[in-house]
Structure 1
Amino acid sequence: MLLSDEQLALLAKYFSSVELTGEQKDTIIEKYWEATEEERKTIARAYASLFATDVIFMQRLLLYYDLHVNPLSTQKTSDRSENGETGKNNMEPQVAPSGRPDSTSLQNGNSQARLGKPLRGPGGAQLTHSQLILRSAIQDQYSKITGDGPFPVSFGLVQTEEQRREVIELYLLQFLYPDLPELQRLVILPQTHSTRTRRRAKGSYTWYIRSLSNNEMICAVTIIAHHYETHHFVEVPLFATGVGYKKHGFGRLLNAALLQWCVESGFEFVMISADVKAIPFWSCLGYKTMEKSEATRIAFYYEYNCYKFKGAEIMIRYCRTWPSDGVKAALDKVQKVVVSGPVGLVDA
């Protein structure tokens, strides 16, 4: 049974006042990595003083992960060059999409993305991808939406290399896979600067919600617009909310804006690649597992033109069921937040 917020607060207060031995800390580290994701969150809250302030403890926690939980992670990221890009030995994605991307997107992915210098730990050593994921999971216990507000945000479309870099970094901190080369292939700049002048939106687009208080990207979604015979649908290979912004309704708001855009653009349905642990979230938003009869209609096209992720569940939502006030309803659930500019996905 998981502890209540009151019980966790009492434990956190108690453990902040006692000095734990090295053996006790090692036991906490072992139990942390043996626990489920939900149990890890509870452990991090109960021992908040350790996770937030004890640098040595955090180094040992991360080292234990790389040595005992996922020993291959250090090997994978050792090929990263000093400018943050992956070396030649790791340029090919682990699960390559069939028939995509084309030569243009490959060029954009490999030559234009520059993610800056890699993040480093307290000792100056470069953090592995798994360490970044762990750091994000721990930082997620501390919300960035605090105080009375209001908190201004805005919607935006990725149109510059700087915006593209921000989105890729957001995704990297949330996913162990896709890795950097694959993300560079997925997140590309629109081939045309406006969907408003075309009868049908085509290609790839990435939208985001940005905090105007600290200029951070809160969440982002990457889509690919497909047209196959009489079927017009949107594929969502990537969707993520940034560290410190989860459980505030931003993901729900961005999804609502996406569905509204799809309705206005004449699409039949939205198809997502859902991580198994995220299925309950998407189900609450009206998505359902794609049935065999539905998959058969686009089977050939899907095989050669859509992205496939190992372990992901294909879920869809039909646009015809989306209510006209869906975005407003989603915004009402995001407390203390006001939108500056258009309330919805924007074109150039």
Structure 2
Amino acid sequence: MTPGLKNICIYGAGALGGTLAARLAEGLGEQVCVSVIARGAHLEKIRENGLQLHVAGEDKPSVVAVTATDNPADLPKQDLIITGMKGHQLPAAAEGIATLLSTHSRVVMVLNGIPWWYFHGDEKSERADHRLPELDPGNRLWDAVGPERVIGCVAYQGAEVVEPSVIRLPVRGRFILGEPSGDISADLTAISDLLTRAGVNIIQTADIRGEIWSKLMGNASFNPISALTRALSDRIVAEPALLGLMSRVMTEVHGIATALGHPPAQTVAERLKEAMTIGPHPTSMLQDLLARKPLEYVPLVDTVVRLAHMTGTPVPALETILALIGELDRQNRADAG
């Protein structure tokens, strides 16, 4: 067992967070103490039945018991916290996360889009420690959690909570971990090893920002287009007009990343080719729309447009999508009451 990584809390045990909690609890057993922060019916069913993880192609689901609560104060200080919340949910959780921190705690943040800590220690952009108030209003995360504790995570893992406490994965995906500093640190290596032993497919990177932008080429196109059209991924890539729009968005995202000094390793053509293989998958934004939940468009589109303006990068396709998805989110919130 890796020293110093005994108490592990998954803060936000939805689709991805719940997946990691189940893998850790099943794969490492009594070597670790896994707890989850959840709420509502999901919390109650986790307490009653445990977390159930169904993976396509596997004979039977994993069913694991974990400590579950909606109050971080119920738990001891944690060695490792993994957040499974979306970007717009995180600021409200800042104080709760801080409750769990000890002097040595690290926080792995599984996020789509631009993270609140993006510019921490970023010398390539010449904007080191520039803050993003649209992602961290009032510096709640910056001050309570601290960007120096963060290990960035880019997840390529489709997952869906099909009913409270029950998570379904279409495939086994991968998680890319990296320090904002670019170092392959002892903490990064220890956490990567821990998750690997739990059966999670982990890749370490010295350029987590480049990986963020690489995934964002898909997220900034697939997610809002799917929400605006209600089309699944396979339909979007099969329709020439939508595929052309995806290509324009990806090209704009690639241009912003390059202007900020972290161009994705993939070209637009390579990213589009990869997108063609995804299959009939509902994006997370489409799932949220259908569930009448707030849409995660700020880190995926709004902040991207802001960074484009910061760097003087033209983004007409993204600006159009932002206008449309912003209005769709407002209507969705109003309909949800």
Comparing both chains, which one has the higher relative contact order based on Cα–Cα distances under 8 Å and sequence gaps of 6 or more? 1
Larger Rg: 1
Which is richer in helix?
Answer: 2
Query: Scaled by the length of structure 2, what TM-score is found?
Result: 0.25
